[in-house]
Structure 1
Amino acid sequence: MLLKTFGWSFAVTALGLIAAVLYGGWAGFGIVAVLSILEISVSFDNAVVNAGILKKMNAFWQKIFLTVGVLIAVFGMRLVFPVVIVAVSARIGPIDAVRLALDDKAEYQQLVTDAHPSIAAFGGIFLLMIFLDFIFEDRDFKWLAWLERPLARLGKIDMLSACIALIVLLVSATTFATNAHQYGGIHADKTETVLIAGIAGLVTYLVVGGLSGHFENKLEEEEEREHEAEEAARTSGTKVPAVVMAGKAAFFLFLYLEVLDASFSFDGVIAAFAITNDIVLMSLGLGIGAMYVRSLTVYLVRQGTLDDYVYLEHGAHYAIGALAVILLVTIRYEIHEVVTGLVGVVLIGWSFVSSVRRNRRLAPARTQGTGADGKAEVPSGV
C-alpha cells in the first residue's frame, strides 16, 4: 500500500536529489532537501483538505485531479511560476531568465539580488495575510491557547488582517526599504518599489481568496441540495445512496481544489525565495514536495481517514508567519538560509510533538468511554 501510493514520489525524490548534487554539489543537495521538507510542511493541511473533498468525487474526476492536477501543481506552479516571478521582478523575458540561470549565473544573481526587495515585499505580505487570517479565526483546536484565544476575539473586527498587513508594509517601506541591500554590497532607496510590490501581494491574496470563496460557495450549495435529497429519501423510506459528485458539481469541486492548491503552492514558491534564489534548485525542491503532497492526498483517501495530528496545521501557519517576517527583514539585511530553513522545521516539529502529547492524554478517556472526543478543545499546555 505504502509503496504503491508513494512509489512515484520516492522515484522523483531520488532523481531530484541526484540532479541537485550534479548541479549544485552537496550544498545544492541540502537546499533541495530543506525546500522539499518546507513544501510538505506548509502544504500538509492542503493534502488533508484535498482528501476530504476528493472522496466526494466519482472515480473519473478523482483520476482527473490526480493526473491533470499533478501536471498543473508540479510543472505549472512549481517549475514555471518561479521563472515567471524572476522574469517579472527583474523585467526580463522568461526564456532569458532560464538562460541566465543556467549559463550566466553571475548576471542572474545580480538581477535577482537587485529585484529581491520587490520579491520579498510581494511574498512577505502575501504570506503574512495567510498567517493573519489563520490566527484571527476562532478554531476548535488551539495549540498555543494563551495566544490564540485573545487573537480569535480580535479577529471579529472586519478587515483587521488587511489593516495590519498594510501597517507592516508601511513600516517595512519606511525602514528596511530606505536602505535596501543590492548586488555588490551597495544599498539603494527602494521605498516605492516595496510599497507597490507589497500592495500587489495583498491584492493577489484577496483575488485568490475571492476565487476560493466563490468555488467553496458552489460546493456548499451542492452539499445543501444533497442533504435535502437525503432527507427526502429517509422520509419516503427509500435507501439513501452514497453521494458521489459528478458532472457540473464535480467540475466545480475540481476548480475549487485547483485554486486552493494554487494558493498553497504559491506560499511554497514565495517562501522558497527566502531560502534560495536559484530557480533550478527551487524547482527541484518544490517539485519533490508537491509529489509527496499529492501522494499523501491519495493515501488519506484510500485509508478513509484523516490525520489525527491536529496541531500540525498550526505549526505550518506559524512557519508561514515567521517566513513572512524573514522575507521583509531581508529587504535590508541578509539572513542565512540555514536559519530560515530551521525555523519552519522547528515549528513543524514542535507542533507534531504537541499533537502526540495531546493524543496520549486523550487515549485513556477514549478507552474508558468517558465521552471525550477528538473535537474537544485540548490545549497543548505549552
Structure 2
Amino acid sequence: MNLRIFGWSYAVTVVSLVVAFLYGSWQALILCAILGVLEVSLSFDNAVVNATILERMSEFWQRIFLTIGIFIAVFGMRLVFPLLIVGITANLNPIEAVTLALERRPEDDPTSYAYLLNEAYPQIAAFGGMFLFMLFLDWMFEDRDIKWLRPIEKFLARIGQIERISVVIAVVALVLLSQVLAEDPAVVLLAGALGLVTYLGVQGLGQYFESVGQAQMEDVEEGDAPGRNGQGGPTQLVKATGRAGFFLFLYLEVLDAAFSFDGVIGAFAITPDPIIIALGLGLIGAMFVRSLTVFLVRKGTLADYVYLEHGAHWAIGALAVILLIGIGPFHVDEIVTGLIGVVFIGAAFFSSVRRNRKLEAQGVNTHKTADELAAEAKAEAPR
C-alpha cells in the first residue's frame, strides 16, 4: 500500500536530484533536497485539508489530482506563477521574465528576479491570505458535533449562526489591514478582493455540483446512496463525479496554490534559481504532499484521529493571519510559519490518540463511521 502510494514520489525525487546535479553539480543537488524536505515538512496541514476534500471525490478524480494536478502544482504554481507575477509587476514580456529568472542575479539586486518577486509579495499575500482566511472562518463558524477546543469552537459556532458573517469579518479585516499596513492600499484591496471572490466562486460552484451529483446518485440508487450527513446508509460516502468532481478538483488546486504562495516566496531565501525551486518545491515537495494526501484518505486516518482536521484548520487560520500581516513591512520567517502548523497538527494528533485510548478503555470501538462518531460526540457533550 505505502509503496503503491509513495512509489512515484520516491521515483520523482531520485530523478529530480539527478537533474539538479546535472544542472548545477553538488550544490544544486543539496539545495534541491533542502527545498524538498522543507516543502514536505511545512505542508502537512495542506495534506490534511486536501484529504478531507479528496475523500469526497471518486477514484477517477483522485487519479486526476495525482496526475494533471501535479503538473499544475509544479509548472503552474512553482514555475509559471512566479514568472507571471514578475512579468506583470515589472512590465516584462514572458521571454524577458524567463531570461531574467535564469540570470541568477543576487537577491539584493533591485533588477533581479528574486527581488522583483519579493516586491510583489503584498499582493500575493493579500490574495492567498484572504482565500485561506475565508476557508478558516467558514470551517470554524460551522456547528459540528465533534469539537476539539470545545469552548472556543462552541463560541465560534454561535457566531456562525449570523448569515454571511465570515464574509463581513474577512472584508473588514482586509480594509483595516490594507489601510494600516500596506504601502499601496488600493493594490492590496484589489488583490484581497480577488482572493475572496475566487474562494466564494470556486467553493460555491463545487458545492452546487456536488449537491447535484449526490441528488442524481440518490435517484439512481433509490435513496440507498450513503452520505455523511444522514443521507442514505451510514458506512460509506457519496463520491463526487462529473461536474461535481471537476469543481472539487478545481477547488483543491486553488487551495494548493494559496498554501504554496508563502513557500514559493520564501524559497528565494535559499536560492534565487527558478529551476532548482521548481525541482525541490515542485517535483519533490508537491508530489510528496499529494501522496501524503492520498495516504491519509486510503488509511482512513482522518476518521481514526478525529481532531486532525481541526488542527489543520487552526493552522490554516494562523497561516492566513501571517500572510495578511505580510502585506505590510512585517514578514514572518517560513520556518516559523511551518512550525506553527506542525504544533497545531501535532497537538490535534495527540488529543485524538488520548481520546481513542480513553474510549477503548471503556470498550468503545474508535474505528467508526462519521455518523456514528457524530452521535457519540453528542452523547459525550456536557449538558
TM-score by length of 2: 0.78
3-state SS of the aligned residue for 1:222? helix
- 1:114 aligned residue (106, 115, 119): 119
What are the superposed Cα offsets for residues 14-42 of structure 1, whole Å, 9 maximum, x if unpaired? 44567499566756644432222333421
Q: CA deviation at 1:48?
A: 4.1
User: What is the rounded CA distance, in whole Å, between the counterparts of 2:292 and 2:12 in structure 1?
Assistant: 15
Q: Does 1:211 find its partner at 2:216?
A: no
Compared with structure 1, are the counterparts of its residues 157 and 105 closer, same or farther at alpha carbon in structure 2 (3 Å cutoff)?
farther
Q: Which residue identity lines up with residue 42 of structure 2 in the other structure?
A: L
1:175 corresponds to: 180
Structure 1, unpaired ranges of 5+? 178-188, 232-241
Q: Which residue identity lines up with residue 261 of structure 2 in the other structure?
A: I
3-state SS of the aligned residue for 1:334? coil
User: What is the rounded CA distance, in whole Å, between the counterparts of 1:337 and 1:66 in structure 2?
Assistant: 26
Q: Does 1:269 find its partner at 2:260?
A: yes
Compared with structure 1, are the counterparts of its residues 213 and 354 closer, same or farther at alpha carbon in structure 2 (3 Å cutoff)?
same
Instruction: Give me the CA root mean square deviation.
Output: 3.6
What are the superposed Cα offsets for residues 180-227 of structure 1, whole Å, 9 maximum, x if unpaired? xxxxxxxxx312221221112111211111221222122222232134
Q: Between 274-283 and 208-217, report the one with greater CA deviation.
A: 274-283
3-state SS of the aligned residue for 1:377? helix
User: What is the rounded CA distance, in whole Å, between the counterparts of 2:348 and 2:297 in structure 1?
Assistant: 23
Q: CA deviation at 1:228?
A: 1.5
Q: Which residue identity lines up with residue 364 of structure 1 in the other structure?
A: A
- Equivalences for residues 60-75 of structure 1 within 5 A: 66-75=66-75
User: What is the rounded CA distance, in whole Å, between the counterparts of 1:163 and 1:67 in structure 2?
Assistant: 37
2:360 corresponds to: 363
Q: CA deviation at 1:285?
A: 2.2
- Equivalences for residues 117-132 of structure 1 within 5 A: 117-132=122-137
Compared with structure 1, are the counterparts of its residues 324 and 46 closer, same or farther at alpha carbon in structure 2 (3 Å cutoff)?
same
Q: Does 1:311 find its partner at 2:302?
A: no
- Equivalences for residues 224-263 of structure 1 within 5 A: 224-228=218-222, 230=224, 250-263=241-254
User: What is the rounded CA distance, in whole Å, between the counterparts of 1:312 and 1:280 in structure 2?
Assistant: 34
User: What is the rounded CA distance, in whole Å, between the counterparts of 1:354 and 1:274 in structure 2?
Assistant: 33
Structure 2, unpaired ranges of 5+? 107-111, 226-235
Q: CA deviation at 1:75?
A: 4.1
Q: CA deviation at 1:300?
A: 5.9
Q: Does 1:374 find its partner at 2:382?
A: no
- Equivalences for residues 284-363 of structure 1 within 5 A: 284-296=280-292, 298-299=294-295, 307-330=303-326, 331-363=328-360
Across the two proteins, how many residue pairs are aligned to each other? 351
User: What is the rounded CA distance, in whole Å, between the counterparts of 1:341 and 1:165 in structure 2?
Assistant: 23
User: What is the rounded CA distance, in whole Å, between the counterparts of 1:294 and 1:175 in structure 2?
Assistant: 38
2:233 corresponds to: none
Contact 1:275 1:340 (C-alpha < 8 Å) held by counterparts: no
Q: Does 1:39 find its partner at 2:36?
A: no
Compared with structure 1, are the counterparts of its residues 358 and 132 closer, same or farther at alpha carbon in structure 2 (3 Å cutoff)?
same
Compared with structure 1, are the counterparts of its residues 93 and 213 closer, same or farther at alpha carbon in structure 2 (3 Å cutoff)?
farther
Q: CA deviation at 1:356?
A: 1.3
Compared with structure 1, are the counterparts of its residues 123 and 8 closer, same or farther at alpha carbon in structure 2 (3 Å cutoff)?
same
Contact 1:122 1:198 (C-alpha < 8 Å) held by counterparts: yes
User: What is the rounded CA distance, in whole Å, between the counterparts of 2:173 and 2:151 in structure 1?
Assistant: 24
TM-score by length of 1: 0.78
Compared with structure 1, are the counterparts of its residues 89 and 154 closer, same or farther at alpha carbon in structure 2 (3 Å cutoff)?
farther
1:181 corresponds to: none
- Equivalences for residues 93-112 of structure 1 within 5 A: 93-106=93-106, 107-112=112-117
User: What is the rounded CA distance, in whole Å, between the counterparts of 2:335 and 2:301 in structure 1?
Assistant: 35
Compared with structure 1, are the counterparts of its residues 25 and 65 closer, same or farther at alpha carbon in structure 2 (3 Å cutoff)?
closer
Identity of aligned residues (%): 43
1:236 corresponds to: none
2:162 corresponds to: 157
Compared with structure 1, are the counterparts of its residues 89 and 145 closer, same or farther at alpha carbon in structure 2 (3 Å cutoff)?
farther
User: What is the rounded CA distance, in whole Å, between the counterparts of 1:314 and 1:252 in structure 2?
Assistant: 28
What are the superposed Cα offsets for residues 302-344 of structure 1, whole Å, 9 maximum, x if unpaired? 6678641111111111111111111222221232232222111
User: What is the rounded CA distance, in whole Å, between the counterparts of 2:78 and 2:63 in structure 1?
Assistant: 21
User: What is the rounded CA distance, in whole Å, between the counterparts of 1:167 and 1:361 in structure 2?
Assistant: 42
Q: Between 129-138 and 306-315, report the one with greater CA deviation.
A: 306-315
